[in-house]
Amino acid sequence: MTNRATGIILAGGNSSRFGSNKALAPWDGGQKLVERVCGILRPLFSKKLILTKNIDDFGFMGSSDVRVLQDLFPEHHSLGGICSGLHHAQTEFAFVCAVDMPLLQPKLIEALWLASAGYEAAVPVWHGVVQPLCGFYSKNCLGILRHMVAENRLRIHELFGIIRTRFFQEKEILALDPEGISFLDIDTREDYEKARSLR
């Protein structure tokens, strides 16, 4: 997985409910939230991308294995971020996650990678809800994604109806992440405090 897939962190959200740029919120040991998520991906992927609409905010993140790049479609929500990530990726697959998911479990990511074989996407389903920002996507999806963005069709679930998608079911997740903490995203200050209590 290390060389065949790129780890992509989407950090282009407005953070309106959080009150400030949550990617820069403090975590542990002087780390920021974006550094925490990048640290989870670092052992799994030799190449990592951070996509944002404000590159200047992430100057501290540039390194030999992490590139900070402009989100090509900042107003097109998650689907635009996935499209932008696949455009920038130089590998066959990309794992896409959000910057506000600091409790991602590496074992789950590894299992999703194995499950993606023969598919164009592999995404978890937790409590009946598909989790598109914790999934693998093939570069083969790029043409369809560009078409959807051009037509302003931004429902990610429409994509899953078009491409070969492996839905990683809850019964499979339970052995790897029994509490589903991988899917805890930080929208509010209350979410932030909850995530910190679970770390």
**Interval 135-151: pLDDT, tens:** 999 999 999 999 999 99
- CA 92, chain centre distance (Å): 16
Whole-number Å distance between alpha carbons of 136 and 140: 12
CA-based angle 117:125:146, to the nearest 5? Answer: 65
Place of tokens 């590139």: 67
Whole-number Å distance between alpha carbons of 56 and 66: 15
Place of tokens 């910190």: 196
Residues of the chain with pLDDT under 70: 1, 13-17, 19, 62, 76
pLDDT at 18: 72
User: 118 phi and psi, to 5 degrees?
Assistant: 85, 0
Residue 66's contacts (CB-CB under 8 Å, 6 or more residues apart) are: 38, 48, 49, 50
Whole-number Å distance between alpha carbons of 174 and 171: 5
The neighbouring-strand residues paired with 94 are 6, 137
pLDDT at 147: 95
Domain that holds residue 46: 5-198
Whole-number Å distance between alpha carbons of 149 and 62: 28
State the alpha helices, DSSP H only, in the chain.
33-41, 77-88, 106-115, 142-150, 156-162, 170-173, 189-198
Q: What is the pTM of this model?
A: 0.93
Contact criterion met (CB below 8 Å) for 104 and 189: no
Helix or strand or coil: residue 153? coil
CATH number reported for the structural domain that contains residue 37 in this entry:
3.90.550.10
pLDDT at 45: 97
